[in-house]
């Protein structure tokens, strides 16, 4: 086949002009590897975009999608349903913390976040506290690209073009990153639990009675892999509960085994009120997302309505039959192959491999938890991201796909990875670091 015309597609989060001058095109994927249009195999150290947790080309998912397409290609989810939507919701609920078992299906992490924010506002209104409308995010937080998500998000480039039209009544607490205190921490840093107390200052400024919800990523991924300090999430939970504020965990990245447990909530032993989900929920075979909601919140909203529709929100493709088939098949793989436990068993090896690059040129920090690692590089003067971009290209040329944000290299491989493949990832990265200025 001839190469397609590249001019029509406007690629997301991509330097389009640069890419189209030297395109990296993938043709197929299986297991841990992509194959390019030139026939080169590339080890996937990022699970696509943090999402292909069970590896590529899983036959169980392919068969489930094929059967579903033949049986039911589409079913509306407004005032009608299909059986697999309920089965998929039950399968997701079984992996959530106890009581967070009411599942609202979406199609992406961005939709999940906007849905969760709307659920929080609807809950307080139904509970007789309609004055609770303020939403609190965190600096450097990433919550997708909907207007709700970028409003509570804290990554400046994502916000600045749209700053004049973001949601009103939004504030942010401080991020947890500290080179001085936590550089080269392994797992959760020991320093930083007190940073959660900034929430008390924000509450004092606005008054608790105006605040609906606080949303944070338990582990911040897209901003450059920021690990929560020991005790930090526990303190956020204490503060929000004391003031009657809902706590939303954005687990689009961290759920479904990424940290060695079904959810980060389980791993840290901190139970929020709402959890946003996507990515690994369907192994990325079909776009899918969900919001897991505490049943008390769900019941309050439903019981407040006299009759008819209780929550005026939803999507044409909520609980799409192909998505629910992929969800069930993916969750079955995770369970049958014990992939969450496998990730936990590999975490120490992964940590050692990542930290073996301490002392390499330009490396100023390494952070990790579960099967996630971030390697932060010093930036070139007036060229943030240039050094990481060069490492990315060199690794790709040498058969390893990594991810970078700013000058942080990020790693989140499929949970089926072997130790030899972990070695290959970090050896390749080390060689790239040795070769650049």
Mean predicted confidence (pLDDT) in 293-321: 97
Rg of the chain (C-alpha set): 22
Cβ neighbour number for residue 229 with a 10 Å cutoff: 23
Predicted pLDDT of residue 1: 66
Residue 135 β-bridge partners: 170, 213
Mean predicted confidence (pLDDT) in 397-420: 98
Q: What sign does the CA torsion over 149, 404, 422, 396 have?
A: positive
List pLDDT tens digits, range 87-115: 999 999 999 999 999 999 999 999 999 99
Predicted pLDDT of residue 21: 94
| CA dist., res. 16 & res. 235, Å (int) | 42
Res. 2 pLDDT band, cuts 50 70 90: confident
**pTM score above 0.85:** yes
Domains of the chain and CATH, by start: 16-54+338-435 (3.90.1150.10), 62-336 (3.40.640.10)
Asked if residue 178 has pLDDT above 80, the reply is yes
Q: Is 250 helix (H, G, I), strand (E, B) or coil?
A: strand
Query: Which class for 398: exposed (0-12), middle (13-18), buried (19 or more C-beta within 10 A)?
Result: middle
| CA dist., res. 271 & res. 291, Å (int) | 14
CB 119 within 8 A of CB 275: no
Res. 3 pLDDT band, cuts 50 70 90: confident
- Arithmetic mean of pLDDT over the chain: 97
Distance set, CA 53 to CA 143, 301, 359 (Å): 20, 34, 30
Cβ neighbour number for residue 27 with a 10 Å cutoff: 12
List pLDDT tens digits, range 53-94: 999 999 999 999 999 999 999 999 999 999 999 999 999 999
Asked if residue 181 has pLDDT above 80, the reply is yes
Asked if residue 6 has pLDDT above 70, the reply is yes
Q: Where are the beta strands (DSSP E) in 360-414?
A: 363-369, 372-377, 400-401, 403-405, 408-411
């Amino acid at each position: 086949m001839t190469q397609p015309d590249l001019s029509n597609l406007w690629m997301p989060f991509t330097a389009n002009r640069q890419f189209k001058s030297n395109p990296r095109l993938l043709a197929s994927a299986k297991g841990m590897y992509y194959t390019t249009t030139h026939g080169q195999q590339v080890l996937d150290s990022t699970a696509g975009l943090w999402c292909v947790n069970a590896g590529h080309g899983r036959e169980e998912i392919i068969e489930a999608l094929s059967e579903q397409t033949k049986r039911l290609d589409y079913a509306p989810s407004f005032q009608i349903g299909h059986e697999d939507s309920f089965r998929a919701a039950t399968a997701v609920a079984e992996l959530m913390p106890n009581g967070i078992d009411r599942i609202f299906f979406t199609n992406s992490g961005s939709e999940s976040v906007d849905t969760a924010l709307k659920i929080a506002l609807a809950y307080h209104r139904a509970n007789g506290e309609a004055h609770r409308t303020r939403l609190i995010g965190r600096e450097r937080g990433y919550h997708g690209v909907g207007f709700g998500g970028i409003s509570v998000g804290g990554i400046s480039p994502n916000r600045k073009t749209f700053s004049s039209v973001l949601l009103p009544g939004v504030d942010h607490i401080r991020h947890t990153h500290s080179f001085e205190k936590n550089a080269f921490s392994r797992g959760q840093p020991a320093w930083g639990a007190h940073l959660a107390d900034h929430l008390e200052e924000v509450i004092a400024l606005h008054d608790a009675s105006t605040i609906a919800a606080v949303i944070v990523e338990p582990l911040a991924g897209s901003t450059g892999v920021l690990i929560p300090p020991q005790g930090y999430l526990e303190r956020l939970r204490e503060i929000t509960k004391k003031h009657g504020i809902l706590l939303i965990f954005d687990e689009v990245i961290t759920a479904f085994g990424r940290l060695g447990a079904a959810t980060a909530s389980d791993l840290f032993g901190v139970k929020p009120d709402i959890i946003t989900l996507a990515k690994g929920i369907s192994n990325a075979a079909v776009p899918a997302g969900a919001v897991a909601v505490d049943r008390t919140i769900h019941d309050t909203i439903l019981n407040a309505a006299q009759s008819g529709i209780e929550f005026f929100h939803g999507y044409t493709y909520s609980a799409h039959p192909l998505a629910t088939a992929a969800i069930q098949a993916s969750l079955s793989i995770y369970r049958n192959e014990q992939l969450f436990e496998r990730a936990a068993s590999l975490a120490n090896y992964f940590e050692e491999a990542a930290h073996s690059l301490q002392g390499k040129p330009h490396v100023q920090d390494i952070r990790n938890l579960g099967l996630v690692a971030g390697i932060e590089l010093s930036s070139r003067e007036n060229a943030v991201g240039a050094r990481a971009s060069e490492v990315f290209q060199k690794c790709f040329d040498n058969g390893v796909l990594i991810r970078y944000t700013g000058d942080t290299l990020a790693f989140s491989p499929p949970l089926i990875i072997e130790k030899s493949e972990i070695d290959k990832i970090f050896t390749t990265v080390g060689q790239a670091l040795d070769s650049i200025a």
